[in-house]
Amino acid sequence: MTRKKDYKDERPESGVMSEDPERDRDPGSTPGSAPNAQDAAELKADLERARAKEDELMRAVAELTNVNRRRKQDMETLVQFGQEALVRNILPILDDIDRALAASKDREGDAFRSGVVMIRERLWRTLEKEGLEAIEALGAKFDPELHEAVAQQPSEKAPPGTVLEVIVPGYRFKGRVLRHAQVVVAGPRQDSSRGPRGSGQGNTAPGAGERDF
């Protein structure tokens, strides 16, 4: 029977690591404890910095979006104001055409008047396409947001506050009142059974107004 050979327990020479790394590690240190804790702290700090940068970036994007929105609104407002100024300057021309047509009602069928009517219709279609609309005032209840009362007169047919006549037509432009309609409004009705205010029936009793001497 062959006897097993006794092997001599040989330790590695200085500077040469053995096949088992656990034998060469310092027995007083915990495997992976300090490096892992340090890595976790650094990772947490990096994560917090990344979140702070993300929040800062999101605030910058939101601020830029608001600035662009305000700039767009300002540009649209400026464009609308410019359009309103142009249309407002055209309204007196439209008024003159309407007055000319009203003064030539007895010339229906005249070629010149028919041409003026066509010009008026073409001008109105162009302005209407841009957003101009007439304010309906005749027969409507007086509305200070739309109408401007230039006179008041009593009416037996229309209730008080009704628009009886349109002196100057009013217009809206893109929903905004461009010019108030100047109108005549029905005033309060007068009671014919009563006399003027403050004039009551005189005292007809005998001796009324006579002084006793």
Q: What is the pLDDT along the chain (213 residues), one digit of tens a residue?
A: 455 455 445 555 544 454 555 555 555 445 544 557 788 888 888 888 888 888 888 988 988 889 888 988 888 888 888 899 999 999 999 999 999 999 998 888 889 999 999 999 999 999 999 999 999 999 999 999 999 999 999 888 889 999 999 999 999 999 999 999 999 999 887 765 554 444 444 444 344 444 443
- Give the Cα separation of 177 and 127 in Å (integer): 15
Q: Structural domain of residue 140, as residue ranges?
A: 132-190
- Give the Cα separation of 173 and 87 in Å (integer): 8
Are 154 and 77 part of one and the same domain?
no
- Give the Cα separation of 142 and 171 in Å (integer): 15
pTM above 0.75, yes or no: no
Are 72 and 44 part of one and the same domain?
yes
Are 47 and 108 part of one and the same domain?
yes
**pLDDT attached to residue 87:** 94
Are 54 and 107 part of one and the same domain?
yes
Give a yes or no: residue 209 inside a domain: no
> How many domains does the chain fold into?
2
